[in-house]
A and B are shown apart, each in its own frame.
Chain A
């Protein structure tokens, strides 16, 4: 049963990863290292840096985020990520959908408990 649940959570986490990235960027613009550290630290997500960078690149290619490079005196140049308008709209739709889905999926269709 645990294996089954583990597999299911992997699927859920994979599905939610895009949403988590967009949500993190909805709050403010962040540079790559900072963003990745934040996402890796999210409890229950179990995501690694190796997974996040390809995802960020794909979101950029799809036009949901935009990037810019900024030189840093403290180390390598920082690559900042921000949401595009389309990314913002997609986030709204995702959240609405998730909310609706959650409500539909977890709704008790027989509150009285009778079969």
Chain B
């Protein structure tokens, strides 16, 4: 510890008093400097071995220290003082305008209005693109600011950023190259159109900024680091942002190739690496002008784009989901940021025979399903009242494919026009469609059309559902036999949507009600049993759309055991007569060969365990073959009678199958036909998911069945409800039938296979037209006219299959039925009906709930006759 004498302290104070003011203005901390100097003096004293510092010592040491001269502070001098090339205000302003303001403004306008995306192509389809485009004004802005401040410390980082921004602007300048000339012309002639020129102007500005960066700091023309590497990094970033698009579009082109190997490779790529959102955008298509302007699409795929139709097909093959079953991709459009594509897409399926994509603004507003059951005849009649609402700005067509209860037929169609009910005219299929298309599409008036769309399926379309919140109300009447699950029990299934182009809100409920003079029991918790009046049982409930579609709200009904024959008077036939139904125990169908065709589509993945389990139930003596409908059909097992070991092996093989995308089942069905054609009593069991897209022509199969309508039977077992474009092709072919789904897939398959056992007789209602009224006997009951409708429906299908179309149409029209040969159409005025040669159904003769029996009708008619006679008498 050094001790300072008072004189030494005074000497020190005199010394430090002199430089203190200079130190204060030099940029140094004066107190710190003085403290450092004092410490230095003490160091010197300690080195010299001094314990006490005298004034003399201090003077001596301070002399050695030299004068305290603060070094001049290095500050940022005025540009002129530095002698460096300066960026003057005017050029800086231009660079800021072209390199910062214009790119930022362009990006902002494109993001908020989607001007380019809606008209030509989407320059910023992903967040990655947005970040890349946003980087340009940011990098240029920071560089300009730094240049103006002459701060050379971040020169290297700014050089990298500038090179990266240059790479991005070069990419966008190339992208906008096709719009360059139109942009220039609009600037010249109209004074606007700078936006398409923005990327090119940004390239120029970025290059100028780079030049100024080069001279930043040294004032010399110094090379900047990271130039090429920054550009390479930008190219990499652009490639990364564009990679999903490039891979998807390239693979898409392969997938639509005519070469099967390329097709398979394209599908494999798309399934593994494809971007489903990009694929979905391709499904919605673009205008021709927009396609021609998309230079990137040309560069990376080497040609014009794949058509939306082909893209839709590929989308299904890749995902196993039709493009219209998922929400439309959201894009920025001129009508608003991030609007759904279908908001501006024209409904191309209007008036056509496809349900098509979801239509914006169209929704199901109300749905009411009433059913009455006739336990004696095991027949039911449903009335489905549907109300559609359209909140969009233009009139829309509501379309739906409706799955009918097995064996069902549409027997009534009503439309409410200005609050009044209008009944449909039933006539030839082509005649009703033509009337609908003329009235709906050309005159834009109120018609409804119902035609068949495959076994147990109808297509309903109604137009126009008025715009701006308008409602349209229709009623569909369905008559169907109830499938017998035992000699004394049957099951009632509800009609449901297989496919639709309108929205059903998540909280929407269908109101269901069923009544029977016999016993009934709901099979699920959705419906509750009640007794509306003595002797009648009912079930009622409000169910969600998925519950209705999945068939979980089925109702079990008791069939009176003593009834073995039913009859009804046939008032529709020219020749009068009666229709009788006899419950007959029939010999089961026993196929000598069963070919199982398994759909390999993605939704089947969860079905393999059920299918594998059900294989045990196949008849022991039948030959079994197994076909897998993959990207191409594969025979997993040749037709042979299998022993227990072989069945176990087959089960393992099925359980190990891999499902992917949406597979074309038609080639596999054709292959199955070839395997069973030689056997007269063979069957194809086609286990499949919904078939929303017809991927190849079924003409060969249709021809095969056309030449042999009682050909090998096809049992279609669909795992989940949904459209079936393949089954639609077999409309009117009796050999093709849908298997009613009641429970799990394994259970339903087991029941189907068990029904083929020799010891299992099946009870069937055999319908027959007779001239004489059946003689009263025990077990005979009178039934409603629905019995006659079911007979007429079967007869019309038989006539249609036998190519007697005219007779089939006449019969269907007389009984007011929608069959493969006939349709139902409701028009607005009698004049429209007359012009199309149609006769609407008499409201007194349409089925209703409850259905009036013949006797009741006679009593009503007598009452009316008496009333009229009395009035006349009074007058």
Interface-lining segment among B62-70, B191-199, B260-268, B680-688: B62-70
Q: B71 an interface residue at 8 Å Cβ cutoff? A: yes
- Whether A54 lies near B218 (C-beta < 8 A) is no
Q: B46 an interface residue at 8 Å Cβ cutoff? A: yes
Q: A57-B32, A58-B27 given as contacts; is B71 within 8 A of A51 (CB)?
A: yes
Residue in B28, B43, B74, B217 whose CB lies within 8 Å of A54: B28
Residues of chain A with a CB closer than 8 A to B46's CB? 74-76
Q: A79 an interface residue at 8 Å Cβ cutoff? A: yes
Whole-angstrom distance between the alpha carbons of A76 and B41 in the complex?
10
Residues of chain A with a CB closer than 8 A to B152's CB? 93
Chain A interface residue bracket vs B: 20 to 34
Q: Report A47 CB to chain B, min CB distance, Å.
A: 9
**Size of the chain B interface, CB-CB below 8 angstroms:** 34
Residue on A nearest B155 in the bound complex, by CB: A93
Q: B699 an interface residue at 8 Å Cβ cutoff? A: no
- Whether B28 lies near A58 (C-beta < 8 A) is yes
Q: A57-B32, A86-B153 given as contacts; is B27 within 8 A of A62 (CB)?
A: yes
- Whether A97 lies near B218 (C-beta < 8 A) is yes
Whole-angstrom distance between the alpha carbons of A28 and B64 in the complex?
26
Q: B222 an interface residue at 8 Å Cβ cutoff? A: yes
Q: A89-B153, A96-B218, A97-B218 given as contacts; is B68 within 8 A of A54 (CB)?
A: yes
Residue on A nearest B218 in the bound complex, by CB: A97
Whole-angstrom distance between the alpha carbons of A33 and B37 in the complex?
10
- Whether B71 lies near A17 (C-beta < 8 A) is yes
- Whether B153 lies near A50 (C-beta < 8 A) is no
Q: A56-B36, A60-B32 given as contacts; is B23 within 8 A of A93 (CB)?
A: no
Whole-angstrom distance between the alpha carbons of A97 and B219 in the complex?
9
Per-residue contact bits, chain B 210-224, to A (CB 8 Å; 1 contact, 0 not):
000000011010100
Whole-angstrom distance between the alpha carbons of A7 and B220 in the complex?
26
Residue on B nearest A56 in the bound complex, by CB: B36
Which B37-59 residues sit within 8 Å CB-CB of chain A?
37, 39-40, 42-43, 46
Q: A48 an interface residue at 8 Å Cβ cutoff? A: yes
Residue on B nearest A48 in the bound complex, by CB: B66
Whole-angstrom distance between the alpha carbons of A101 and B72 in the complex?
21
Q: B506 an interface residue at 8 Å Cβ cutoff? A: no
- Whether A77 lies near B26 (C-beta < 8 A) is no
Q: Report B382 CB to chain A, min CB distance, Å.
A: 81
Per-residue contact bits, chain A 71-106, to B (CB 8 Å; 1 contact, 0 not):
000111101000000100110010011001100100
- Whether A32 lies near B27 (C-beta < 8 A) is no
Q: Report B72 CB to chain A, min CB distance, Å.
A: 7
- Whether A53 lies near B40 (C-beta < 8 A) is yes
Residues of chain A with a CB closer than 8 A to B19's CB? 50, 54
Q: Report B792 CB to chain A, min CB distance, Å.
A: 93
- Whether A75 lies near B43 (C-beta < 8 A) is yes
Whole-angstrom distance between the alpha carbons of A53 and B70 in the complex?
8
Q: B678 an interface residue at 8 Å Cβ cutoff? A: no
- Whether A32 lies near B28 (C-beta < 8 A) is no
Q: B641 an interface residue at 8 Å Cβ cutoff? A: no
Which A25-83 residues sit within 8 Å CB-CB of chain B?
32-33, 36, 48-51, 53-58, 60-62, 74-77, 79
Residue in B43, B73, B153, B155 whose CB lies within 8 Å of A76: B43
Q: Report B1 CB to chain A, min CB distance, Å.
A: 9
Q: B306 an interface residue at 8 Å Cβ cutoff? A: no
Whole-angstrom distance between the alpha carbons of A3 and B292 in the complex?
78
Whole-angstrom distance between the alpha carbons of A79 and B35 in the complex?
11
- Whether B36 lies near A79 (C-beta < 8 A) is yes
Residues of chain A with a CB closer than 8 A to B66's CB? 48-51
Residues of chain B with a CB closer than 8 A to A17's CB? 71
- Whether B39 lies near A77 (C-beta < 8 A) is yes
Residue on A nearest B2 in the bound complex, by CB: A76
Q: B33 an interface residue at 8 Å Cβ cutoff? A: yes
Whole-angstrom distance between the alpha carbons of A49 and B36 in the complex?
10
- Whether A76 lies near B42 (C-beta < 8 A) is yes
Residues of chain A with a CB closer than 8 A to B33's CB? 53-54, 57
Q: Report B186 CB to chain A, min CB distance, Å.
A: 47
Q: A60-B29, A93-B152, A93-B153 given as contacts; is B36 within 8 A of A53 (CB)?
A: yes
Residues of chain B with a CB closer than 8 A to A50's CB? 19, 37, 65-69
- Whether A58 lies near B26 (C-beta < 8 A) is yes
- Whether A49 lies near B40 (C-beta < 8 A) is yes
Residues of chain B with a CB closer than 8 A to A32's CB? 36, 39-40
Whole-angstrom distance between the alpha carbons of A89 and B70 in the complex?
24
Residue in A57, A75, A90, A100 whose CB lies within 8 Å of B42: A75
Whole-angstrom distance between the alpha carbons of A50 and B37 in the complex?
8
- Whether A100 lies near B218 (C-beta < 8 A) is yes
- Whether A58 lies near B73 (C-beta < 8 A) is yes
Residues of chain A with a CB closer than 8 A to B40's CB? 32-33, 36, 49, 53
Q: A14-B72, A76-B39 given as contacts; is B28 within 8 A of A48 (CB)?
A: no
Which B606-641 residues sit within 8 Å CB-CB of chain A?
none
Residue on A nearest B44 in the bound complex, by CB: A33
Residues of chain B with a CB closer than 8 A to A90's CB? 153
Whole-angstrom distance between the alpha carbons of A60 and B444 in the complex?
85
Residue on A nearest B67 in the bound complex, by CB: A50
- Whether B67 lies near A54 (C-beta < 8 A) is no
Residue in B27, B65, B72, B218 whose CB lies within 8 Å of A61: B27
Residues of chain B with a CB closer than 8 A to A62's CB? 27
Most B CB within 10 A of own CB, among A55, A56, A62, A77? A55
Residue on A nearest B220 in the bound complex, by CB: A100
Residues of chain B with a CB closer than 8 A to A100's CB? 218, 220, 222
Whole-angstrom distance between the alpha carbons of A56 and B43 in the complex?
17
Whole-angstrom distance between the alpha carbons of A75 and B1 in the complex?
7
Residue on A nearest B28 in the bound complex, by CB: A57
Whole-angstrom distance between the alpha carbons of A48 and B42 in the complex?
17
Q: Report B209 CB to chain A, min CB distance, Å.
A: 20
- Whether A14 lies near B39 (C-beta < 8 A) is no
Residue on B nearest A17 in the bound complex, by CB: B71
Residue in A51, A76, A104 whose CB lies within 8 Å of B220: A104
Residues of chain B with a CB closer than 8 A to A104's CB? 220
Whole-angstrom distance between the alpha carbons of A93 and B222 in the complex?
12
Q: A32-B36, A62-B27 given as contacts; is B71 within 8 A of A54 (CB)?
A: yes
Most B CB within 10 A of own CB, among A14, A36, A76? A76
Residue on B nearest A47 in the bound complex, by CB: B66
Whole-angstrom distance between the alpha carbons of A57 and B28 in the complex?
5
Residues of chain A with a CB closer than 8 A to B71's CB? 14, 17-18, 51, 54-55, 58
- Whether B218 lies near A53 (C-beta < 8 A) is no
Which B198-243 residues sit within 8 Å CB-CB of chain A?
217-218, 220, 222
Q: A18-B74, A61-B27, A93-B217 given as contacts; is B69 within 8 A of A54 (CB)?
A: yes
Which B16-36 residues sit within 8 Å CB-CB of chain A?
19, 23, 26-29, 32-33, 36
Whole-angstrom distance between the alpha carbons of A74 and B45 in the complex?
12
Whole-angstrom distance between the alpha carbons of A4 and B220 in the complex?
27
Q: Report A13 CB to chain B, min CB distance, Å.
A: 10
Whole-angstrom distance between the alpha carbons of A79 and B218 in the complex?
34
Residues of chain A with a CB closer than 8 A to B36's CB? 32, 53, 56-57, 79
Sort A-B residue pairs by CB-CB distance and give the 10 closest, nearest first.
A48-B66, A57-B28, A75-B46, A54-B70, A50-B66, A50-B68, A58-B28, A54-B28, A55-B71, A53-B36
Residues of B within 8 A of A (CB): 2, 19, 23, 26-29, 32-33, 36-37, 39-40, 42-43, 46, 64-74, 152-153, 155, 217-218, 220, 222
- Chain A to chain B contacts (Cβ below 8 Å), 12 pairs: A14-B72, A32-B40, A49-B37, A55-B28, A55-B70, A57-B28, A57-B32, A57-B36, A58-B70, A79-B39, A89-B153, A97-B218
**A33-B43, A55-B70, A75-B46 provided; 10 other pairs, C-beta below 8 A?**
A49-B64, A49-B66, A50-B69, A57-B23, A57-B33, A57-B36, A58-B26, A76-B43, A93-B153, A100-B222
